[in-house]
Every structure is written in structure tokens, then in C-alpha cells.
């Protein structure tokens, strides 16, 4: 819906300039009784145009300084604050940063401010999406004015025609005003895209607006979701019935205050997917700090995240991995899938960019972490990673010591166990932060490999269900994991080292 | 004629596919070989007897003559603050002929084996003082009260002991542990000075 409206605005009319006589002509073509009435009530010229359903770049072309009252050619309403839009469509606002009220004559002047802000931060973009946020109070004014119009002119033939197209919302009128000048200044077209320019209007009388909004309940919500839709249909049902509504509130005697106006731009997050390997036994997966001290010498998320962040000029990153391994466990084989979310990048990352970053990370001298198959992913990346995360099998290699020398029969006994069920009570080392439960896990297969020169050390290869605690399966965790390697072999078993050798998931393998 | 041509082009396609598969296989084998190299340890660096899981992950303390002579117990404290309580090898119960024959968790005001602690916040855990009774172990002719030694919440008792009290005789220091207690950091600091280290224990009890 939004995209269509924006395209409409861009493509509808070539940005030709409407002269003030064109504006006069246009105003004269409108029903004069309604036009004069609204003018006398202090409604600004753009609010009037939008009430009559006018669209297009005329909003951008009007110069506030040269608008005349159509009736008697005296000076226009633009010197006073419009009671409906509270100055939004008159380009009058209070700027928080400069701490003073601004009064701009043309949309171009406002667009200049915005374009300056965009250029300051050094964003790379080939399109922009304009988003506008308006206080509920003014949305209420919009709706009330429409129903006022309905009650006063409902029987007129011209109104009955208009009712189908409805009036143009303040948001759309503002976009009609600003998009063409912004496109000129930023040298690109507007469209639905990750680069967002956000204009936020707020008002100190917001609470009044909120209360009214909640009165309307459902219709208020509908207005919010169908931003670019015409206002008329949505609110007719409730407001018109409310005949006791005091329309004089719309046109108070004392002057209102203009809105606070702030503007910024940002980019929606980019996502990188890939697999990481961890060669170090002193690197945690995520940043791990206890009592202001870092555990381990680095973390996978920082090694990858900081590089990517710097390269594309983002504000911050979030690291999401499919499971995790202990700080002293290496992640080998094809690696563990991960997604790195980067927020508000100044540059636009490309596939080549992802390749370059991957090479950069892998060239690091200390070789703590390796990244494979790094590439940009869309929202489907999440599904790929989360899908079946709990069911996927993991493969490990553990260096195990037994309290007695092992014989061939022991090796065969271990290899013969397929889909072995293991009951694991919450390991003591995590019992402080996890629920005390007994979890049944499956060891799909095991294979023991001798270590040359020792009859009490061997490499245990095993493939287990996701969520199995391997260390506890080897040493038994004081009997709280049963069976364990020790109980199977009838002796004491200890684990010296553990490595993850495969994560059997489909994603990010190329 | 045309059939022949199709056959030829097919075989060149399959040849390409085979070559690709062979290359992939080679790559996989290389990767496997690299992985193997990483996994295999250097035997020279391995100790003949490595430290046990308890030695590696816990700080080992002992409490001697707790409230009664020769009522010696151990306290294994994990880095996360949890304490495993059990009978030290020098406990008087092990001197009785036949060792320990039974264990009963129904002491004091409740059956310690009956409490169900749930959730991350450890709801329903009972708060005990250091001298609160945990259980009673019986030998042929005698019985002895085992106490918490550490003030804190009782997270679990070793249910296995009820069916297999002989675990206490065979491996009181591992599978024969009695209970797991979670003390508050302040309570741990208060009790720590009264505990002795493994070294001191060996000296005081003349154990090797």
C-alpha cells in the first residue's frame, strides 16, 4: 500500500512548477461555500487542498509567502498556525536541536534541512523511503474535521462525489510536499527500501489526543495501518454518530503551539550468514565478562562482529549462532552456522564485500577463528538456522582417559551401542542457572580410536542428539549422568579435551 | 546416427559430473586429513594420570570433627558457588565392620529426599543451617548423623544412595556424594575459614 502511494507521488506529475495563478485557479474550481468557510476558520491552504482530495506535486510548489485568500485577496492564513495540522503542512515547527521555532516558506526549504542531515552521516544509498510520524492529537483533528465536513456539507452533490475518493491524509500531503524536492537534492528516487528517512512530529498536548484515540478504539487502529488510505471511510462510522461532538474544539480562539519536529535517517539491519570454526581453547563464543574481568582472551562474536562493523560502518552488531560450545572446546569440521546482524550500516554491503571480509578474518595472524561461506542473507536465513535446531545431530571427538587399560572387547562393546539412551540430570556446572531436571538424550553411535603409545588414552568419536552434555557423559558427573563411558566400561573415565567435529545442519554450507 | 551423438554428449556430461564428484571427494578427504591432524594428541605431553573431573572443576575442602569427633566430611565447591557435600574417607562410619549398610534421609522435620526443587530460581528449596541434619547413615551396630556443614539451600540429595547405600563404601568421594547445597556468597565467606584444604587434611589425618 505504502509503496503504491509513494510511486504515485513520484510518477503522477512531472515536477513542473505551479505558479500562484495556477493555485488561484485551482482554488476557484472548488465549491466556494465550503472553501470560504474553511478559510475563515483558519485552515491552511494545504489542509484545504487535501480536504478536497487533491493530490500531486502542487503541495511542493506552493510558496507560503505568496498564498492569497481566494475570496478577497487579502493575506492568507499562512501567517497564523493552522488549527488542524498545527503547522505541519505550513512548514512551521519547533526544532529541538536549534531550540527555536522555524517558519519555512517552501517544501524545498524543509527538504534542504533534511538533505543536509543525510549527507552529514556519510550514508551510501541509491534510494530512500520517507516515513512520517504524527501526534495522535492531529490525527484526531483530521478525523474530526472530516466528519464536520460531512455533517455540514453531506447533502451537497459535490460532496457525494468526493466521498468515494475521500480526503488526503496529512502524512500523504506532507509526502507530496517533500518527496520531489528530496529526490532532487539527494539525486535518487524514493521507494520502499532499507534506507529510511524518518520525520517525527510530537506535541505537548499529546495526552489529549491519546484519550480521544482510545475512545474511537477500532477505527483509530484502522487509520494507523492504512496510512495512505483516504481518511473518510475509516472514521465515518464512529465520529458521525457522535453528534454531540463539540466542533468548536477544532477551531479554538486562542492560538495553538506548533509541533516539535525532529528528523533522522537510518538503515534497516543487514544480515550475514556463514559458519565459524574455533581453533582456540581460550576463546569464548560470546563476550564473557565476570566482575569486570574478561574470561578467555577473545570471543568469536567480537572477532567477526568488530571486523564486519568497521568495514560497513554500522552502529552495532548482534551475533546469533546455532547452539554453542564451551570456551575450552574447539569448533572444527565444517563449522557452526551463525547469523550476524549489523545495524544502521553507512555503506551498503555486497556479496563481494562479504567475500573480502571473510578473507580478512581468515588472514588474521593468531588464527583463533575461521569463517566459511560468509554471505548476505535475507529473512529466510533465520528459518534455515532455527529449523530443526533441536533435532540436529552433533559430532564430537573427545580425548578420554580410563583408569584401566582397554582391550579389543571394550572397543567393540562401545562401537556396538547404537542410539543409546542416556539420562542426564542437570550437570552441576550449570545447575546454578538451569532447572534441576533429568533429560533423556540419545547417543547415536560411538567409535573409539587408539592413541599411539598409550593403552589408557583414546579418542572417542561420537554422534549425539542436540543438547547432550558430552563431558558429563564421559566422567559421569558423580553418577548423575547414567550410563556414562565409565559405567559402560566398568572403570573411572576422565575427559581431557573435547572438539566439535560436525554440526549436521543444511544451512550456510556454500 | 543421432542416437550415437546423444550418447557421446551424455558421456561427456557424466564425465564432467564424475570429475566434479572426484574433486569434491578429494577436497573432503583433505579436510578429513586436516581434521585428524588437529585431533590426535601428542602422547608425550599427556600425564600418566590426569586430574579427575572433581579435581579440575572443584575446590576441595574438608571439615573435621563436625560437632562430634571423627565426623569428617568433604565440601567440593564449584566456581559457580554450588557445594557438593559427602563423607570424607576418615569418617568414623567407615571404621565399623562391614561399612555403611543403610541411609535414611528422613531426619529432622522432613524427608530430605522428598523435596522437589524446580526452576531456575530453585523454588521450594529448603534453607538449612550448617548444623542441620541431612541424613542418617547406619552401619551394623551404629548410626551417624550427617550434617550440611555449609549454610544454604538444599538443591538435591543423592537419590541413588537409597537403593545403593554401598556406593558410600565404594566411592564416597564421587558417586557416593550425599547432597548439593547452594550457599549465599556471604554465608560461604563466613564458613570458609573453618574448612581445611586437601593438603592440610592429608597432614592432619595422616592420609596419603
Average pLDDT over residues A9-22: 55
* Cell numbers 498545527: residue: A86
Q: In percent, how much of chain A has pLDDT > 70?
A: 83
Residue B175 has pLDDT above 80, yes or no: yes
| A332–B38 C-beta distance less than 8 A | yes
Tens-digit pLDDT profile for residues B62-111:
999 999 999 999 999 999 999 999 999 999 999 999 999 999 999 988 89
Q: Which member of A333, A477, A496 has the closest CB to residue B50?
A: A496
B35 at the A interface (CB within 8 A)? yes
- In this prediction, residue A144 carries a pLDDT of 82
- In this prediction, residue A43 carries a pLDDT of 85
List CB contacts of A294: < 8 A, sequence separation 6 or more.
A287, A288
Q: How far is CA B134 from CA A118, B113, B157, in A?
A: 69, 9, 8
A 393-432 residues with CB < 8 A to B: 397, 399, 401, 428-432
- Give B177's contacts in chain A (Cβ within 8 Å): 478-479
- In this prediction, residue B6 carries a pLDDT of 59
B162 at the A interface (CB within 8 A)? no
Cα–Cα dist A295/A65, whole Å: 65
Strands (E) in B97-202, as ranges, are: 102-104, 106-107, 110-111, 126-128, 133-138, 143-147, 152-157, 179-182, 196-197
Tens-digit pLDDT profile for residues A344-391:
999 999 999 999 999 999 998 888 999 999 999 987 888 888 876 777
The pTM for the full model equals 0.80
* Cell numbers 532499507: residue: A194
B 111-150 residues with CB < 8 A to A: 117-120, 122
Residue A216 has pLDDT above 50, yes or no: no
- In this prediction, residue A166 carries a pLDDT of 76
- In this prediction, residue B45 carries a pLDDT of 86
Q: How far is CA A14 from CA A4, A89, A180, A182, A190, in A?
A: 17, 21, 9, 14, 15
Residue A137 has pLDDT above 90, yes or no: no
Q: Which member of B81, B155, B174 has the closest CB to residue A436?
A: B155
**Nearest residue on chain B to A434, alpha-carbon basis:** B120
Predicted ipTM of the assembly: 0.88
Nearest-CA distance from B181 to chain A in Å?
10
Strands (E) in A172-288, as ranges, are: 189-190, 195-202, 260-267, 270-278, 283-284
Nearest to A439 by CA among A427, A429, A451: A427
Cα–Cα dist B38/B32, whole Å: 10
| A477–B35 C-beta distance less than 8 A | no
Q: Residue A297 carries which DSSP code? A: S
Cα–Cα dist A229/A231, whole Å: 6
Residue A9 has pLDDT above 60, yes or no: no
Catalytic residue check, A326: yes
| B180–A428 C-beta distance less than 8 A | yes
B50 at the A interface (CB within 8 A)? yes
B80 at the A interface (CB within 8 A)? yes
B3 at the A interface (CB within 8 A)? no
Nearest to A141 by CA among A129, A153, A149, A151: A149
Average pLDDT over residues B23-41: 82
Nearest-CA distance from A296 to chain B in Å?
15
Amino acid at each position: 500500500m505504502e509503496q503504491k502511494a509513494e510511486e504515485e507521488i513520484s510518477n503522477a506529475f512531472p515536477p513542473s512548477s505551479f505558479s500562484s495563478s495556477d493555485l488561484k485557479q485551482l482554488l476557484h474550481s472548488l465549491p466556494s461555500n465550503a472553501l470560504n468557510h474553511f478559510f475563515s476558520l483558519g485552515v491552511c491552504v494545504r489542509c484545504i487542498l487535501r480536504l478536497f482530495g487533491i493530490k500531486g506535486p502542487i503541495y511542493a510548489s506552493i510558496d507560503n509567502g505568496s498564498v492569497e485568500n481566494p475570496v478577497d485577496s487579502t493575506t492568507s492564513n499562512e501567517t497564523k498556525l493552522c488549527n488542524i495540522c498545527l503547522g505541519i503542512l505550513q512548514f512551521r515547527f519547533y526544532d529541538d536541536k536549534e531550540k527555536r521555532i522555524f517558519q519555512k516558506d517552501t517544501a524545498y526549504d524543509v527538504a534542504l534541512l533534511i538533505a543536509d542531515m543525510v549527507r552529514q552521516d556519510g550514508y551510501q544509498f541509491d534510494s530512500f523511503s520517507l516515513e512520517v510520524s504524527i501526534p495522535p492529537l492531529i490525527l484526531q483533528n483530521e478525523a474530526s474535521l472530516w466528519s464536520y465536513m460531512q455533517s455540514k456539507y453531506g447533502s451537497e452533490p459535490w460532496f457525494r462525489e468526493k466521498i468515494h475518493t475521500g480526503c488526503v491524509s496529512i502524512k500523504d500531503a506532507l509526502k507530496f510536499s517533500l518527496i520531489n524536492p528530496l529526490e532532487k537534492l539527494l539525486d535518487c528516487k524514493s521507494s520502499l527500501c532499507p534506507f529510511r528517512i524518518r520525520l517525527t512530529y510530537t506535541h505537548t498536548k499529546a495526552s489529549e489526543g491519546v484519550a480521544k484515540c482510545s475512545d474511537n478504539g477500532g477505527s483509530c487502529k484502522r487509520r494507523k495501518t492504512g496510512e495512505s488510505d483516504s481518511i473518510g471511510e475509516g472514521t465515518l462510522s464512529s465520529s458521525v454518530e457522535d453528534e454531540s461532538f463539540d466542533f468548536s474544539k477544532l477551531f479554538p480562539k486562542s492560538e495553538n503551539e506548533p509541533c516539535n519536529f525532529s528528523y533522522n535517517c537510518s538503515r534497516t539491519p543487514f544480515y550475514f550468514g556463514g559458519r565459524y570454526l574455533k581453533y582456540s581453547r581460550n576463546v569464548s563464543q560470546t563476550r564473557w565478562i565476570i566482575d569486570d574481568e574478561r574470561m578467555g582472551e577473545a570471543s568469536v562474536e567480537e572477532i567477526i562482529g568488530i571486523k564486519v562493523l568497521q568495514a560497513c560502518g554500522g552502529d552495532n552488531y548482534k551475533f546469533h549462532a546455532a547452539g554453542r560450545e564451551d570456551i575450552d572446546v574447539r569448533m572444527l569440521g565444517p563449522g557452526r552456522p551463525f547469523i550476524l546482524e549489523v545495524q544502521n550500516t553507512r555503506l551498503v554491503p555486497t556479496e563481494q564485500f562479504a567475500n573480502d571480509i571473510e578473507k580478512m578474518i581468515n588472514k588474521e595472524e593468531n588464527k583463533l577463528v575461521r569463517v566459511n561461506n560468509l554471505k548476505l542473507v535475507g529473512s529466510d536465513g533465520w528459518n534455515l538456522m532455527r529449523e530443526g535446531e533441536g533435532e540436529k545431530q552433533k559430532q564430537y571427538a573427545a580425548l578420554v582417559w580410563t583408569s584401566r587399560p582397554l582391550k579389543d572387547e571394550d572397543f567393540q562393546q562401545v562401537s556396538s551401542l547404537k542410539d543409546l539412551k542416556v539420562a542426564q540430570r542437570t550437570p552441576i556446572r550449570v545447575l546454578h542457572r538451569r532447572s534441576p531436571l533429568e533429560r533423556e538424550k540419545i547417543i547415536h553411535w560411538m567409535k573409539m580410536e587408539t592413541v599411539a603409545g598409550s593403552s589408557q588414552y583414546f579418542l572417542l568419536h561420537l554422534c549425539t542428539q542436540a543438547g547432550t552434555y558430552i563431558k558429563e557423559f564421559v566422567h559421569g558427573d558423580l553418577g548423575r549422568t547414567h550410563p556414562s563411558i565409565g559405567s559402560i566400561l566398568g572403570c573411572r573415565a576422565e575427559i581431557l579435551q573435547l572438539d566439535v567435529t560436525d554440526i549436521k545442519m543444511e544451512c550456510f554450507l556454500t | 546416427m543421432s542416437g550415437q551423438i546423444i550418447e557421446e554428449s551424455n558421456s561427456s556430461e557424466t564425465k564432467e559430473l564424475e570429475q566434479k564428484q572426484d574433486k569434491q571427494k578429494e577436497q573432503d578427504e583433505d579436510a578429513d586429513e586436516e581434521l585428524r591432524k588437529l585431533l590426535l594428541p601428542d602422547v608425550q605431553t599427556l600425564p600418566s594420570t590426569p586430574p579427575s573431573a572433581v579435581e579440575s572443576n572443584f575446590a576441595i575442602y574438608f571439615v573435621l570433627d563436625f560437632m562430634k569427633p571423627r565426623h569428617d566430611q568433604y565440601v567440593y565447591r564449584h566456581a559457580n558457588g554450588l557445594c557438593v557435600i559427602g563423607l570424607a574417607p576418615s569418617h568414623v562410619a567407615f571404621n565399623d565392620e562391614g561399612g555403611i549398610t543403610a541411609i535414611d534421609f528422613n531426619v529432622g522435620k522432613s524427608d530430605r529426599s522428598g523435596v522437589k526443587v524446580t526452576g531456575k530460581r530453585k523454588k521450594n528449596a529448603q534453607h538449612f543451617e550448617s548444623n542441620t541434619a541431612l541424613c542418617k547413615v547406619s552401619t551394623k551396630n551404629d548410626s551417624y548423623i550427617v550434617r550440611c556443614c555449609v549454610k544454604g539451600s538444599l538443591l538435591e540429595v543423592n537419590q541413588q544412595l537409597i537403593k545403593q547405600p554401598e556406593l558410600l563404601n565404594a566411592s564416597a568421594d564421587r558417586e557416593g556424594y550425599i547432597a548439593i547445597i547452594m550457599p549465599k556468597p556471604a554465608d560461604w565467606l563466613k564458613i570458609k575459614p573453618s574448612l581445611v584444604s586437601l593438603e592440610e587434611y592429608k597432614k592432619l589425618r595422616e592420609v596419603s
